[in-house]
Structure 1
């Protein structure tokens, strides 16, 4: 699916997504990716959903964001609550979504000027 915002002012936005990929500002990515309005973190983790660990979420918790999204691929899956400890310690919440919902939600929040970060599991 292609996504288009009217005004992005040079900020990172999702322009497309599909099976095993996302496009940010028209550039296709096939690896796990963390996205903030002003930066990309390719390969933020090498984990699959099944091998996700607390250190992976610790990296997301350390980002300068007030809202953190986790895209779990084509299927909505919730991580083990033990993995959320770094987010609890950083006093940040986590919204878990499937990949399409995470891309759309990120674009909306970013377009509103919110400090948002999204970690996407593509592998």
Structure 2
């Protein structure tokens, strides 16, 4: 979240970097990218990098992918970083993503970060849902 002052007091806004950027580092409960850092999990989407709080990490559910579905037209591959271990995606989640023509690949968060950076450099239609790891 970003905090800024205003005449009416403090305004709290959702964390968002309005661009695509490689992930420079991960760990200690967060990520570094674009000379910035974020504590917590993130979504890397065509619209930018967003702070994200899955409902039941490290397993994500259909309730966690609303923003991904909203941007489905710009996403072909979704990399899902499930923490330190590979965890399968629930079938209902896979079905919704397939309906939107998105191929989902779960993997550890470290592997997802590395793969995301490669596909981003290749200018592929990639997105990532990355659960923060310590």
Instruction: Mark yes or no: TM-score above 0.5.
Output: yes
Quote the RMSD (CA, aligned, Å): 2.1
- State TM-score, norm by structure 1: 0.78
Gaps of 5+ in 2: 1-18
- Higher strand proportion, which one? 2
Tell which has more relative contact order, 1 or 2 (C-alpha 8 A, sep 6+): 1
> Which of 55, 70, 74 is 1:62 aligned to?
70
Q: Contact 1:37 / 1:110 at 8 angstroms: preserved in 2?
A: no
Which of the two has higher C-alpha Rg? 2
Q: Which runs of 4+ in 1 moved over 4 A?
A: none
Instruction: List alignment gaps of at least 5 residues for structure 1.
Output: 1-9
How many residues are treated as equivalent by the alignment?
A: 113
Map 1:1-123 → 2, pairs under 5 A:
11-36=20-45, 39-43=48-52, 45-50=54-59, 52-63=60-71, 64-122=74-132
> 1:65 deviation in Å?
1.2
Q: Please report the TM-score for the alignment, with normalisation by the length of structure 2.
A: 0.72
CA contact (8 A) 1:68 1:116 kept: yes
